[in-house]
Structure 1
């Protein structure tokens, strides 16, 4: 944590003992939970839903880059077109406040192990609200415009399903695998189709579907250590003990021999980070992208009292050499982040960099 827990708790106590209102009590507890600096952590109450995030949603997705929010996708094309919102629109103000101003006001209540994940989680907080309409200032084609947009209760957005190819072969015989849709039963066909490629790019900017063991077994020739944990000693609060090393892979002389490239970003969290660790055991692997969510391992969730739900990371996850992953995440070998211009041009700059590396080794 950025601040010792004892100090954080002491600072929060006045807000618990004598809150100015019921709403303020909820906010005091949420601020304390945010000080865990844990991307698994959250505080969920009906009061916070209505007074912090809000029950009305925008029908498009945004990403915060350089203190501005750029539209990256649509949840419902019809509703997005109704307000003439387009991918690449750069939102500079929301309801009269700059994105930077809103972040300054609200980030102390937003959970996250590190800054990129706090910004990821801030998108909902910035754009949700109680009212059906909101005002945005945005830039399109170099022109700044102010307009009103609609917000909806979530069920009325009718989020469109996203169908992605599980794998494909790109130019220059480079394989590409999307972990969003890949399932365990797909692995034999994937191996047959990609075994002769010169490189495989695994897109891990998502939450995989339990394919870690099968993929790690394919890219390794033998069993390897890849992780170890710390567990709390429930007989001695504050004490932890080390687990043994955990292994992945098995004897496989027909293992994949090409380059292995894994894409990560702030959406790579928990099991996705554990998956990245398992793939890092390959003899010729490179991680490309940006800092991951830094919340590996399991989640301890419980109800504090009726109507107050919370969670936090329950174990420590480390590499075999005891290098930690909590808050740090999976460190890229080559750092690449999306840019405002890249999004506007419809480019995936992280994937582009991976393809360049697959071709040139640089």
Structure 2
């Protein structure tokens, strides 16, 4: 190589090396904005609320901890201040395993900290007849010969300065050593963690459908092996050690002593999860706790470095020479699990900024962890949190706060979402009592299709078009409600909007302007309240051509047997479920089961536990068939008013006997309802389970699909006809005889 090229290459390499060495360190991650910090805090607060065992057993005001932390988190000017504010909230738990991890802790590396140097020898004699087993050193095989000669044993479990996998390796090595040290069988208590099967309701009756519990594992039995003999045994730990339940159990039963450098912390052994906080910070959250006391015989200061004399081992040798004091066996010291209903703070109709954010955090986390249809939502739920922070924080009065809650609830796109408990929600028709009549959108207009209480709405009749409410166009009120009312599909949403537009405080009065068939506009005064059907006898009647009609919105379970005794000789039945069901499917299905189907629906429920956040899938079995099932054909009338339990009835009947659906698609909203409470006394109900057809097809946001589409017309309604029912009768007449043989 020419000399000039050699020096040029050498110079180039030198410049590259100099440039690399002189390059500035990577800048620290930027501090997230105040709104982003609040979003991170919301996720952390929810993980602790639903997964930390202390919140399920101890008297901790987790709401107050959040309320106190919020101003400091928002005001933080740098990462240190941010970390301190979050850590102060976590200190409420008094749990060293749940804390903010600095960047160097969040991504541990191999270093030469205390106890990190000179640990190459797994077993050595620390003194005459005192064997030291260093489980932090490379471990090849258990020194059985040395153990047999030792009159005392020290087990070094110090992990500070070792790589992140060291605790795991130590735990494995301990498993091979302990049986050789024991002189009696050791029953080790299990760990305990939180388990949620769905979201347990706060205001609805406790029916056991959704549960919260503390689950305790069965623990472990360690059986002595070899020539175990009574002798002093001492474990040496530090604040990074795997605090093993077996070690603590031996300490609690007087079989060993424990010495620790620094705070005794079981965080390295407990199950934990991590929550990103931004700015390079991560929070570690405990998911399990040990059922044995966390105590040491001696606590020494944490050594900053490992060079020089190991005073900790000298202290351990002193303790090892002393006789072990026998103690009474002690195991579980954990308080029992307790279920607590969230505080609704009913007097806070306009909560302070901190309590408004508490409301947001509660709502967002309950849906994030437990809403089974989150995958069907059009929008991103994480983005919904970020967008809602300024909306909740900046609400200027009670109305803006209540509307912020309602607006966020629409993100669920669930027809079973219902809000209650706040006067501003009632005043605007978002909640409250319905009008004593029912409207259905026909040809783009809200038309009266049924009057439930003629006394409360005297002068109203079927076929009238509702145009105004208290002198204002009803369509105008509907438009104002759109941002705050939700449903699972478009037609059902329109139906619900018309219904809510007429709703208001219970007992309140209003005036509607209705237009008759002759074009006359009339003003009718009505009183809001629970919808009441006028007494009209039985919920069934005979129809044409030996066909029966049953109004399933009125039929009660106790009337089902009498119904089929009356209708047993009919050639067909029309089952009308264009509305809410009073819960007759369990009583009804046995009389209609003519097929060999076993399951009526498939359900999935969210599970939240220490191990995972996943789903529990199970099938809902059909009730046993009756002694003499009905053999005639059946038709089920459905439309957008068919929702929830009514749709569940349709699922059962389609597999029980192949019932034909006639009408329009149902609401597409099912799943046992649960609820949560928010400051200001607001209750939010939502679907708690993912309900599907027996073959796994989606129901939510799709609905039951009619095999025969039928829709009433305004003219037909005004003429006194039920065109959907007439089409069902016509279809049954054309089909002729009874259903085929069971399949």
Gaps of 5+ in 1: none
Displacement after TM superposition at 1:29 (Å): 1.2
**Cα separation, partners in 2 of 1:219 and 1:343, compared to 1, 3 Å:** same
Gaps of 5+ in 2: 1-376, 737-743
Displacement after TM superposition at 1:183 (Å): 2.8
Q: Are positions 1:349 and 2:723 aligned together? A: yes
Q: Contact 2:555–2:582 (CA<8 Å) still a contact in 1?
A: yes
The within-5 A match list for 1:1-362 is 1-44=377-420, 45-53=422-430, 59-78=436-455, 80-81=457-458, 84-94=459-469, 98-128=473-503, 134=511, 136=513, 138-145=514-521, 147-152=522-527, 154=529, 159=532, 161-221=534-594, 222-235=596-609, 239-250=613-624, 254-361=628-735
User: Could you tell me the TM-score, scaled by structure 2's length?
Assistant: 0.44
Displacement after TM superposition at 1:196 (Å): 2.2
Q: Bigger radius of gyration, 1 or 2?
A: 2
CA distance in 1, matches of 2:611, 2:483: 28
Give the SS at the match of 2:527.
coil
Deviations 1:109-139 (A, max 9, x none): 1121122322232234323468855463x43
Q: Contact 1:133–1:148 (CA<8 Å) still a contact in 2?
A: no
Deviations 1:62-114 (A, max 9, x none): 22323322122334434544xx4432121234456544443333222112112
Q: Matched residue pairs, number? A: 356
**Cα separation, partners in 2 of 1:9 and 1:238, compared to 1, 3 Å:** farther
CA distance in 1, matches of 2:433, 2:622: 44
CA distance in 1, matches of 2:611, 2:386: 19
Q: Which shifted more, 162-171 or 274-283?
A: 162-171
Q: Contact 1:56–1:151 (CA<8 Å) still a contact in 2?
A: no
The structure whose RCO (Cα within 8 Å, separation 6+) is larger is 1
CA distance in 1, matches of 2:456, 2:632: 44
Q: Contact 1:258–1:284 (CA<8 Å) still a contact in 2?
A: no
Displacement after TM superposition at 1:173 (Å): 0.9
Displacement after TM superposition at 1:213 (Å): 2.9
Displacement after TM superposition at 1:236 (Å): 6.8
Q: Contact 2:457–2:526 (CA<8 Å) still a contact in 1?
A: no
Q: Contact 1:57–1:151 (CA<8 Å) still a contact in 2?
A: no
Q: Which shifted more, 319-328 or 67-76?
A: 67-76
Q: Which shifted more, 210-219 or 238-247?
A: 238-247
**Cα separation, partners in 2 of 1:205 and 1:194, compared to 1, 3 Å:** same
Displacement after TM superposition at 1:194 (Å): 1.8
Please provide the CA RMSD for this pair: 3.0
CA distance in 1, matches of 2:557, 2:527: 36
